[in-house]
Chains A and B, each alone.
Chain A
Amino acid sequence: MGRLRIFASRLLGFFHKRHLDENLDGELRAHLQLLAEENLRRGMTPQEARYAARREFGGVEQTKELYREQRGLPFLDTLLQDLRFALRTLAKRPGFATVAILTLALGIGATTAVFSVVDRLLFRSLPYPHDERLVSFGLLAPIERNEFMLGASYVDFRKEPGPFEAVASMAPGSADCDVTEENPIRLNCGVVEQTFLPTLGVQPILGRNFMPEEDRPNAPRVALLSYSLWKSRFGGDPGILRKTLSLDGSATRIIGVLPSSFEMPTLSPADILVPQALDEEQQHKSAPGAVLRTFARLKPGSNVSQAIAGLQPWFEQAIQGAPPEFRKEIHLSVRMLRDRQVQDVRLASWILLGSVFAVLLVACTNVANLLLVRATGRERELAVRAALGASRARLVRQALTESLLLGLLGGATGCWVAALLLRLFVSIAPEGIPRLLQANLDLRVVVFTFGVAVASAIIFGVAPALNRPAPEVLSGKQTNSPARSLLRQILVSAQIAISLVLLAGAGLLLRSLWNLENVPTGIDAEKVLTETIALGNYRYPNAAEQIAFFTELEGRLKRLPGVSAVGVSDSLPPAGQMRSTIFAAIEVAGRPLLAEGTGGMVGWRAVTPDYFSALSIPIVQGRGFQQEDRLPSENPIVLSETLARALLPNENPIGKQLRLFRMQGPWRTVVGVAADVKNNGLAAGSDPEFYLPWKNDPVVSFSSANVILRTRMNSKAVSAWMRGETAGLDPTLPVKIETMSQRVGRLADGPRFNAVLLSLFAGMGVLLAAIGIYGVVGFLVAQQTREIGVRMALGATPQNILKMVLSNVARWTIGGAALGLLGAWFCARLLESLLFEVRAHDPFLLGLALCVLLAVAFLAAWIPARRAMRVDPMVALRYE
Chain B
Amino acid sequence: MAPPRGEVLQGTLDLIVLKTLDAMGPLHGYGIAQRIQQVSEDLLKLNQGTLYPALLRLEQRAWISSKWGVSDNNRKAKYYSLTRAGRKQLASEAESWERMAAVMARLLAGAAGA
A30 and B52 contacting across the interface, CB-CB below 8 Å: no
CB-CB contacts below 8 Å: A1-36 with B: 2, 5-6, 9-10, 23-24, 26-28, 30-31, 33-35
Which residues of chain B come closer than 8 Å to A62, judged between CB atoms? Answer: 49
| A27→B29 contact, CB < 8 A | yes
Q: Looking at the assembled complex, report how far the CB atom of B29 sits from the nearest CB atom of chain A, in whole angstroms.
A: 5
- Residue interface mask A52-73, B partner, CB < 8 A = 1: 0000111110110011011100
Within B54-79, which residues are at the interface with A (CB < 8 Å)?
56-57, 59-62, 71, 73, 75-78
The answer to whether A58 touches B77, judged by C-beta atoms less than 8 angstroms apart, is no
**Residues of A with C-beta under 8 A to B71:** 30, 34
A57 touches B62 (CB 8 A): no
Inter-chain contacts of A38 with B (CB < 8 A): 34
Task: State whether B53 touches A2 (Cβ < 8 A).
Answer: no
Residues of A within 8 A of B57 (CB): 70
A37 — which chain B residues lie within 8 A by C-beta? 73
Closest residue on chain A to residue B47 by CB atoms = A58
Nearest A residue (CB) for B29: A31
Looking at the assembled complex, report how far the CB atom of B30 sits from the nearest CB atom of chain A, in whole angstroms.
4
**Which of these, B47, B48, B53, contacts A31 with CB under 8 Å?**
B48
Residues of A within 8 A of B75 (CB): 30, 33-34
Contact B61 A2 (CB under 8 A): yes
The residue of chain A having its C-beta at the shortest distance from the C-beta of B48 within the complex is A57
Is there an interface contact between B60 and A30, defined as CB atoms closer than 8 Å?
no
Q: Is A30 a contact partner of B49 (Cβ separation < 8 A)?
A: no
Q: Is B50 an interface residue (CB 8 A)?
A: yes
Task: Contact check, B48 vs A26: say whether CB atoms are below 8 A apart.
Answer: no
Question: Would you give the shortest CB distance from B108 to chain A, in whole angstroms?
Answer: 31
* B50 and A58 within 8 A (CB): yes
* Given A27-B29, A30-B30: A66 in contact with B53 (beta carbons within 8 A): yes
Cβ contact of A26, chosen from B56, B61, B76, cutoff 8 A: B76
State whether B62 touches A5 (Cβ < 8 A).
yes
- Is A60 within 8 A of B60, CB to CB? no
Once the chains are docked, how many angstroms separate the CA of A37 from the CA of B60? 31
**Bound Cα distance from A67 to B62, whole angstroms:** 17
Contact residue range for chain A?
A: 20 to 34
Q: Give A70 to B50 CA distance when docked, in angstroms.
A: 11
Say yes or no: B53 contacts A67, CB within 8 Å.
Answer: yes
Contacts of A24 in B (CB 8 A): 52
Instruction: List residues of chain A with CB within 8 A of the CB of B78.
Output: 23, 26-27, 30
| A35 CA to B56 CA, complexed, in Å | 21
Number of B residues contacting the other chain (C-beta, 8 Å)?
23
A28 to B49, CA, bound (A): 8
- Complex: how many Å from CA A640 to CA B59? 95
Please report the C-alpha to C-alpha distance between residue A6 and residue B58 in the assembled complex, in whole angstroms. Answer: 10
CB distance from A8 to the nearest CB of B (A): 9
Q: Which residues on B sit within 8 Å (CB–CB) of A58?
A: 47-50
Residue among B52, B61, B62, B78 with most chain A CB within 10 A: B52
Are B61 and A28 in touch, CB under 8 angstroms?
no
A71 to B57, CA, bound (A): 8
> Contact: B53 with A30, CB < 8 Å?
no
| Residue from A5, A30, A35, A63 within 8 A of B50 (CB atoms) | A63
Give the distance to chain A from B34, nearest Cβ to Cβ, in Å: 8
Hey, which chain A residues are within 8 Å of B56, CB to CB?
A: 67, 70-71
The answer to whether A5 touches B48, judged by C-beta atoms less than 8 angstroms apart, is no
B52 touching A63 by the CB < 8 A rule? yes
Q: Residue on A with the closest CB to B59? A: A9
Taking CB atoms and an 8 Å cut-off, the chain A residues in 36-95 that contact chain B are 37-38, 56-60, 62-63, 66-67, 69-71
B34: nearest chain-A partner, CB-CB: A38
A residues near B59, Cβ cutoff 8 Å: 9
Minimal Cβ-Cβ distance residue in B for A9: B60
When the two chains form their complex, are residues B53 and A57 in contact, meaning their CB atoms are under 8 A apart? no
Query: What's the Cα separation between A757 and B16 when bound, in Å?
Result: 72
**A5-B60, A5-B62, A27-B78 are known contacts. Are A35 and B30 too (CB-CB below 8 A)?**
yes
A37 to B71, CA, bound (A): 13
Given A26-B76, A30-B28, A58-B47, A6 and B53 contact (CB-CB distance below 8 Å): no
Query: Which single residue of chain B is at the shortest CB-CB distance from A61?
Result: B49
Task: List, in ascending order, chain B residues with CB within 8 A of A66's CB.
Answer: 49-50, 52-53
Closest B residue to A56 using CB positions: B48
Q: Specify the chain B residue showing the minimal Cβ separation from A65.
A: B53
Docked complex Cα distance between A24 and B55 (Å): 12
Shortest CB distance A448–B (Å): 38
Whether B76 and A30, one on each chain, are in contact in the complex, defined by CB atoms closer than 8 angstroms, is yes
Chain A positions within 8 Å of B29 at CB level: 27, 30-31
CA distance A9 to B52 in the complex (A): 16
Cβ–Cβ contact A59 & B49, under 8 A: yes
A70 neighbours in B (Cβ, 8 Å) = 53, 56-57, 60
Option from A6, A33, A60, A63 in Cβ contact (under 8 Å) with B61? A6
Q: What is the minimal beta-carbon distance from B8 to any residue of chain A, in angstroms? A: 12
B62 contacts across to A, CB distance below 8 A: 5
Q: Which of B49, B52, B60, B76 contacts A10 (CB 8 A)?
A: B60
Bound: A37/B74 CA distance, A: 13
A314 and B76 CA atoms in complex are apart in Å by 92
Q: Is the CB of A63 within 8 A of B53?
A: yes
Specify the chain B residue showing the minimal Cβ separation from A62.
Answer: B49
Assess the A57–B49 pair: CB atoms within 8 A: yes
User: What is the CB-to-nearest-CB distance from A546 to chain B, in angstroms, rounded to a whole number?
Assistant: 85
Within 8 A of A (CB), among B1-54: 28-30, 33-34, 47-50, 52-53
In the bound assembly, the distance between CA atoms of A513 and B31 in angstroms comes to 88
Measured between alpha carbons, how far is A67 from B49 in the docked complex, in Å? 9
Within the complex, the shortest CB–CB distance from A771 to chain B, in Å, comes to 52
Assembled-state Cα–Cα distance A27/B77 (Å): 6
Tell me which residues across on chain B come within 8 A of A60, comparing CB atoms.
49
**Chain A proximity of B49: nearest CB distance (Å):** 3
Contacts of B34 in A (CB 8 A): 38
Contacting residues, chain B, for A69 (C-beta < 8 A) = 53
CB distance from B92 to the nearest CB of A (A): 14
Nearest CB on B from A577, distance (A): 75
**B52 CB contact (under 8 Å) in A28, A33, A34, A56:** A28
- Closest Cβ of chain B to A776, distance in Å, is 50
Would you give the shortest CB distance from A71 to chain B, in whole angstroms? 6
B88 to chain A, nearest CB (A): 13
Within the assembled complex, what's the spacing in Å between the Cα atoms of A696 and B28?
Answer: 109
Q: Which residue of A lies closest to B75 (CB)?
A: A30
Tell me whether A63 and B77 are in contact in the complex, defined as CB-CB below 8 angstroms, given that A30-B30, A31-B30, A70-B57 are known contacts.
no
Contacts of A30 in B (CB 8 A): 28-30, 71, 75-78
Q: Which of A9, A28, A31, A58 has its CB near the most chain B CB atoms (within 10 A)?
A: A31
- Inter-chain contacts of A33 with B (CB < 8 A): 75
Interchain CA distance A63-B75 in the complex, whole Å: 22
Beyond A6-B61, A34-B75, A70-B57, whether A63 also contacts B49 by CB under 8 A is yes
- A710-729 vs B: 1/0 string, CB under 8 Å? 00000000000000000000
Chain A nearest CB from B71 CB (Å) reads 8
Complex-state Cα separation, A56 to B29, whole angstroms: 14
Report the Cα distance A589→B57, complex, angstroms: 103
Complexed CA–CA distance, A23 and B52 (Å): 12
List the 9 shortest-distance A-B pairs measured between CB atoms, nearest first.
A63-B49, A58-B47, A58-B49, A34-B30, A66-B53, A70-B53, A31-B30, A9-B60, A57-B48
- Some 22 contacts from A to B, beta carbons below 8 A apart, are A5-B62, A6-B61, A9-B60, A24-B52, A28-B52, A30-B29, A30-B30, A30-B75, A30-B77, A31-B29, A31-B48, A35-B48, A38-B34, A56-B48, A58-B47, A58-B50, A63-B49, A66-B50, A66-B53, A67-B53, A70-B53, A70-B57
Q: 17 other contacts beyond A31-B29, A63-B53, with CB at 8 A cut-off? A: A5-B61, A23-B78, A26-B76, A27-B52, A30-B28, A30-B77, A34-B30, A34-B77, A38-B34, A57-B49, A58-B47, A58-B48, A59-B47, A63-B52, A66-B50, A70-B60, A71-B56
Interface residues in chain B, defined as those with a beta carbon under 8 Å from any beta carbon in chain A = 28-30, 33-34, 47-50, 52-53, 56-57, 59-62, 71, 73, 75-78
Could you list which residues of chain A lie within 8 angstroms of chain B, going by C-beta atoms? Answer: 2, 5-6, 9-10, 23-24, 26-28, 30-31, 33-35, 37-38, 56-60, 62-63, 66-67, 69-71
